[in-house]
């Protein structure tokens, strides 16, 4: 079973950008992949997802701010985050599943360990 590893988190100022990577231990090309985040004291929430064919969907509050993409040759899915706000501070997780609707609705079993994103003034 493929394992997922997130990288790219860190400390950034308001208005800055980060690109997160979700790398698979094996091919991700047949998986839909999504990003979730969990802020302190809050439930994990879905952020964005991409199908195996490249169809993308976003939670409406990040539409136009975040971009999800994939490079199947590198077994990696990216989350480009621009114009970061304090509210974007969270641990970001990637997940993979057989279909986009399963990823989108938190019905998957493959998860990474998360990467911390902290946005400061």
- The tens digit of pLDDT for each residue in 11-54 reads 999 999 999 999 999 999 999 999 999 999 999 999 999 999 99
Query: Residue 25 phi/psi, 5° resolution?
Result: -70, -15
Residues 6+ apart with CB under 8 A from 62: 47, 48, 81
Count Cβ atoms within 10 A of the Cβ of residue 111 and give its class: 0-12 exposed, 13-18 middle, 19 or more buried.
Answer: middle
Residue 75 has pLDDT above 90, yes or no: yes
Q: CA 32 to CA 43: how far, in whole Å? A: 22
For the cut 90, the answer to whether the pLDDT of residue 71 exceeds it is yes
pLDDT band at residue 1 under the 50/70/90 scheme: confident
Dihedrals phi, psi of 110, to nearest 5 degrees:
-100, 120
Within a 13 Å sphere around the CA of 35, how many CA atoms are in the beta-carbon half? Answer: 35
**Which tokens go with 40?**
């302190």
pLDDT digits 0-9 by tens, 88-107:
999 999 999 999 999 999 89
pLDDT band at 8 (very low <50, low <70, confident <90, very high): very high
Rounded to an integer, the average pLDDT of 105-114 is 94
């Amino acid at each position: 079973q493929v394992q997922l590893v997130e990288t790219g988190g860190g400390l950034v100022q308001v208005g800055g950008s980060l690109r997160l990577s979700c790398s698979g231990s094996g091919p991700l090309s047949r998986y839909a992949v999504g990003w979730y985040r969990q802020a302190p004291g809050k439930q994990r929430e879905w952020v964005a997802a991409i199908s195996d064919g490249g169809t993308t969907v976003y939670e409406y509050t990040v539409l136009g701010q975040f971009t999800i993409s994939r490079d199947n040759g590198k077994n990696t899915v990216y989350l480009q985050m621009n114009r970061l706000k304090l509210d974007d501070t969270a641990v970001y997780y990637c997940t993979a599943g057989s279909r986009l609707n399963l990823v989108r609705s938190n019905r998957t079993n493959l998860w990474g360990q998360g990467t911390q994103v902290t946005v400061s003034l």
